[in-house]
Amino acid sequence: MPSDNPAPIRGISSMATRQLLAELTAGFQQRSGRRVEFESVGGVDAAKRVQAGEAFDVVVLASDAIDKLVASGHLMDGSKVDLVRSGVSVAVRSGAPVPDIGSEDTLRQAVSNARTLGYSTGPSGVALANLFERWGIAQQVRERIIQAPPGVPVASLVAKGEVELGFQQLSELIHVPGITIVGPMPGPIQITTIFSAGVCTNSAQVAAVREMLAYMNSPEAEVAKRRQGMEPA
C-alpha cells in the first residue's frame, strides 16, 4: 500500500468517457484508497495539453490518439489498454418528430431532410463527414452543419433547438435532458470508437496507474461500461 497520503492519480480524458471514468474511479478509490482526479475536455485539447508537457499520470482518449502519444514519447511504450467500444447514436429535441433511421437509406433521407445537422470535432465527426461524402450529399448539407466546439456536447445544441438532427457517442447523449435519442446508427454504417488509456512517461505513480487500469478492464467494470452506453473493448 502507498504512503498514508499519496498524491492523487491525475488523469485527462475526452468528454465521451467523462461519466464512465467518474463511475470507475469512484469504484477504484473505494477499493484501493487511492484518490483519482480526472479532467475531461475536448479530445483535441487533451492531446495538445499532454504534448505540451502538462503533468498527468494517465490519459484516456480515442485509440489512435493514444497511439500517437505513445509514438511521440509522451506515453510509455506497452502501456496502452483498450477500455471501451463506443457507438454513435442520433438525437432530436424532445417533442420533435422522430425520423426513421433504421437503415442506411432512411438515415440518408433523414440527413437530407434536416434543416440543421450537428456532430463533434472528434473521430466520429470526421467519420460522419466522410460518410456524407460517400453518400454524395456533402455539398448539399455543408451549410447546414453545426460542428460543436471541443468540450461542448452536441446534445446541448439539440436540446436548445440549434441542431435538428444530432450525432454523438451514446455515452454523451444519455445524460442530457431535453432530447430524444432516436437510436444508434444502423449496423453496417455504425461509427465505433475504441477509447484507450496510456500511462504518462513522466508519471511518478506508474504502479498505481497500472493497478487502476487493471480494475477498469476487469469483469467488475463491465456493468458500469454498459450503463454508460458503451461496450467492453
CA distance 230 to 222: 9
The angle subtended at Cα 113 by Cα 116 and Cα 157, nearest 5°, is 25
DSSP 8-state assignment for residue 137: -
Query: What is the per-residue pLDDT across 25-41, written as a single tens digit (0 to 9) for each?
Result: 999 999 999 999 999 99
Q: Which positions ≥6 away from 221 have C-beta within 8 Å?
A: 24, 27, 215, 232
Count of other CB atoms within 10 angstroms of residue 194: 16
Residue 125 Cα distances to 34, 147, 149, 200, angstroms: 36, 8, 11, 27
Q: Which three cell numbers stand for residue 182?
A: 432516436
| pLDDT for res 1 | 46
Positions of the chain with pLDDT under 50? 1-3
Query: What is the per-residue pLDDT across 80-125, written as a single tens digit (0 to 9) for each?
Result: 999 999 999 999 999 999 999 999 999 999 999 999 999 988 778 8
| pLDDT for res 4 | 59
With b for 16 or more beta-carbon neighbours within 10 A and e for fewer, the 31-53 pattern comes to ebebebebebbbbeebbebbeee
| pLDDT for res 16 | 87
CA distance 138 to 140: 5
CA distance 153 to 96: 19
Give the start-end residues of each E strand in 94-203. Answer: 117-119, 145-147, 165-169, 179-184, 192-199
Parallel, antiparallel or unpaired: strands 9-14 and 36-41: parallel
Q: Which three cell numbers stand for residue 35?
A: 484518490
